[in-house]
Structure 1
Amino acid sequence: MTPATPESPTDRVVHVSAAVVTDGAGRTLLVRKRGTERFMAPGGKPEPGESAAQALARELHEELGVVVSPADLAYLGRFESDAANEPGFRVLAEAFALTLDPRSVSAAAEIAEARWLTPDEAAALPLAPLSTEHLLPLTWG
């Protein structure tokens, strides 16, 4: 019998693509998935063979009904935080910026709510660590 070995730290990391979506009027789009309470940047996990930008373009279409080209996404960097909906896991996000017309966005797929928020409005909500630690400061300073 082979002895059990501890999980590698890389086994506890969830890779995602995330969007910092603004409307040009000082508001940022945050979403909440069905069955969860924390609001976060839109995005999701890449499928095999997808680049981070391709994954994000696909997720924005599936979850918000928005069609964007990966070339329209401005790369912001790679960020790591505790995962909001997977206790004991870390999330490693490739983040991109995008400006959208709020009228073009509607919650779909697993998204229960999509809200355009000011900093004060967002501060009153439960937020994902990735958003509070990294993504929202990029937008609001």
Structure 2
Amino acid sequence: MHPPVAPIDKIAWLHLRDGKILSTRSHGKDRYYFPGGKREAGETDQQTLLREIKEELTVDLAPASLDYAGTFEAPAHGHAAGILVRMTCYYAQYTGTLQPAAEIAEVVWLTYRHRAQVSAVDQLIFDWLKEQRLLAE
């Protein structure tokens, strides 16, 4: 028997505009993911999110505007069965111009009808945002 594997720890930025949510697609991937990423050793949620968003989208999140949205857990897309991802999500304001950088190939605005095109954990968040009446059909 193998010991349980700890979930993949990710921090994500939820940015909504006019009922649509900002999402990204990495080079070579077939699914959209919320911007953000994995924590580096010793980083706080805030440090991880500020670094990842700057690297991926070339914008600066306003640290004082970070607002915890929720933590969601689901099977990790593209990983072996039983591997989970735990995504801690924040809202935040930003300065700069959103543009894809680093591993990001595309930046898109999605509505609930795009749910099938996102990862399992993002689908949970899509459902939650729809229940909150924040995400348009």
Q: TM-score range by the shorter chain?
A: 0.7 to 0.9
1:65 is displaced (CA, Å) by: 0.8
Larger radius of gyration: 1
2:30 maps to which of 33, 37, 55? 37
2:4 corresponds in structure 1 to 9
Query: How many pairs were matched up?
Result: 130
Query: Equivalent residues in 2 for 1:1-141 (5 A)?
Result: 6=2, 8-11=3-6, 13-23=7-17, 25-88=18-81, 89-98=83-92, 104-120=97-113, 122-123=114-115, 125-133=116-124, 135-141=125-131
> What are the ranges of 5 or more consecutive residues in structure 2 without an aligned counterpart?
132-137
1:99 is displaced (CA, Å) by: 5.1
Is the 8 Å Cα contact of residues 40 and 128 (structure 1) preserved in structure 2?
yes
Q: Which letter does structure 2 place at the counterpart of 1:93?
A: M
Is the 8 Å Cα contact of residues 62 and 94 (structure 2) preserved in structure 1?
no
> What are the ranges of 5 or more consecutive residues in structure 1 without an aligned counterpart?
none
What do you get for the CA RMSD once the two structures are aligned?
2.0
TM-score, normalised to structure 1's length? 0.81
- The CA distance in 1 between the partners of 2:106 and 2:43, in whole Å, is 26
- The CA distance in 2 between the partners of 1:96 and 1:76, in whole Å, is 5
TM-score, normalised to structure 2's length? 0.83
1:40 is displaced (CA, Å) by: 1.4
Is the 8 Å Cα contact of residues 61 and 94 (structure 2) preserved in structure 1?
no
Residue identity (%) = 31
- The CA distance in 2 between the partners of 1:70 and 1:83, in whole Å, is 28
Is the 8 Å Cα contact of residues 32 and 39 (structure 1) preserved in structure 2?
yes
